[in-house]
Structure 1
Amino acid sequence: MMLNSTINSPLEQFEIVTLLPLTFNGLNLSFTNSSLFLIIAISILLFWLSLSFFKSTLIPSNWQSTKEVFYLLTVSMVKDNLGHKGQYYFPFIFTLHAVLLFCNLVGMVPYSFTVTSHISFTFSLALSIFLGINVIGIRTHGLNFFSLFLPRNVPFIIIPLLVAIEFISYVIKVFTLSIRLFANMTSGHTLLKIIAGFAWTMLSSGGLLFIFHLIPLSLLFVLIGLELGIAALQAYVFTLLTCIYLNDVLDIH
């Protein structure tokens, strides 16, 4: 009984499994299912991009049209938030958006693994972006970058308190950026697993419950469509916030 409850647990899908154990100087560098599906997502992304360039014609094919829509969406995001200076950072923004989107979509496949459902991945990604943005800000503005934490014409007596508040609100961006993506993907996949398990239990029970299993099954299909939308939306939101944070350090007022 305990074994069955463990197998059917909605949280089982988030378990990181070591596929190839590897340690170096006490560091765990093992190849896990998370690493595997990250590689799979990137491989599918590269394959999708290659299809859009394969036998390209003046009249776009379906693959070309799909890539152009995604490209224009990312271009619009960069222009609206970074302006012309965003052209220099567009390759990174486009790559970030595409990788997150495909990681989220691959995680929707049954018996796969959602890389973005782990806080370790989303936090590491958000922290790396945050550090990179600060390096860009310091290289662009020098020591004037730290005026970001001190608005102009502020009374001297409240400067220490205001700087502390601004610094905390600035650092907290790393956590909000990572937790938003992690929480949405985890909660959505957990709900799908619960509804699917409930429908399967009713289906295998027989009798009247066999008939009524169509109710949670119908709800499951609706939730799958909603979760696909959330997968695309969360990739967009993460990338959009990255653009906004980058713009904040490029345009210091």
Structure 2
Amino acid sequence: MKNPLDQFAIKKIIPLELFGYDISFTNASLMMVLGTLGLIAFQAIALRRRTLIPQRLQAFYEVIYDFTSGLLKDTAGEEAMRYFPLIFSLFTFVLLGNMMGMVPYSFTFTSHIIVTFSLALLVFIFVTMVGLLRHGWHFFRLFFPEGIPIGVAPILIPIEIITYFMRPVTLGIRLCANMLAGHVLLKMFAAFTISLGIAGVFPLAFNVLFTAFEFFVAFLQAYIFAILTCVYLNDALHLH
């Protein structure tokens, strides 16, 4: 693999076609299925024997649960807790996808825009539905907050509308671009280190540090995806 982009290639595992559309089961599909099954298994095992004084796996699960719960409460308020399952699922799915991509010879499905944009579009549609169901037509006051001079409406309203509909685009691109760029750099630095031979000892030390940093980025991007979802949910619940 001399090309650092080869690691993102989609490869068919089970070729399938439906009404002329390619719906093959690919390496990306496999990793997403494994990630989903892994999350379900982790939750089932961690909570199988719940105790007042948690064991290690239960304690780890509770840390993730409390972290996500606190994130949602602090950002969108107590009433947003009814939507906790969505935030928790998104955070853990993106986090696991990012971390699985750090395993050598695996596949990072969060580096593909079709995956990240689909997740972002899901968030966008859900948040918009919450806002409309809660506020009705008053939801559109989001594009023109109360107290703003009517004279700026021709400028402010188009800007707010464009900003709102760009949310799924920016949310999806941010996650995809960060994971893509990080893995490309890791591959390039690794290839450069190998090409140096014995002189690559010092660059190797840098690669180790950069890999640790990439693990941090993997967590950070899952956190950013979750907190932005909470911010959008807060807008839908409370407007301005």
What is the TM-score with the length of structure 1 in the denominator? 0.90
Match of 1:201 in 2: 195
Q: Whose RCO is larger (CA < 8 A, sep 6+)?
A: 2
Identify the residue that residue 3 of structure 1 maps to in structure 2.
none
**Cα deviation code 1:201-249 (max 9, x no counterpart):** 223xxxxxx1x21112111111111111111111011000000001101
CA distance in 1: counterparts of 2:227 and 2:150, whole angstroms: 35
Q: Does 1:102 align with 2:102?
A: no
In the alignment, what sits opposite 1:189? 183
Matched, 1:241 2:228: yes
Structure 1 equivalent of residue 143 of structure 2:
149
- Count residues with an aligned counterpart: 240
**Match in the other structure for 2:10:** 16
- Residue identity opposite 1:227 in structure 2: E
Q: Look up the SS of the partner of 2:5 in the other structure.
A: helix
Alignment of 1:35 onto 2:35: no
2:92 maps to a residue whose letter is A
In structure 1, the residue matched to 2:128 is 134
Q: 1:151 to 1:55 in 2, by over 3 A?
A: closer
**How far off is 1:157 after superposition?**
4.2
Runs of 4+ in 1 over 6 A off after TM superposition: none
What are the ranges of 5 or more consecutive residues in structure 1 without an aligned counterpart?
1-6, 204-209
1:218 matched to which residue of 2? 205
Over residues 104-153 of structure 1, what are the superposed CA-to-partner deviations in whole Å (9 max), with x where a residue is unaligned? 11010000000100111111110121011111111111111111111224
Query: Which residue number corresponds to residue 165 of structure 2?
Result: 171
The whole-number CA distance in structure 1 between the counterparts of 2:50 and 2:195 is 49
Residue 228 of structure 1 corresponds to 215
Distance 2:4 2:152 in 1: 50
Cα RMSD (Å) of the superposition? 1.4
Q: Choose which of 110, 116, 139 in structure 2 pairs with 1:116.
A: 110
Structure 2: which 5+ residue stretches go unaligned?
none
> Secondary structure at the residue paired with 2:118?
helix
SS where residue 10 of structure 2 aligns?
A: coil
Report the 3-state secondary structure (helix = DSSP H, G, I; strand = E; otherwise coil) of the residue aligned with 1:112.
coil
229-238 vs 56-65, which moves further: 56-65
Give 2:55's aligned amino acid: S
70-79 or 155-164: which moved more?
155-164
Q: What percent of counterpart residues are identical?
A: 43
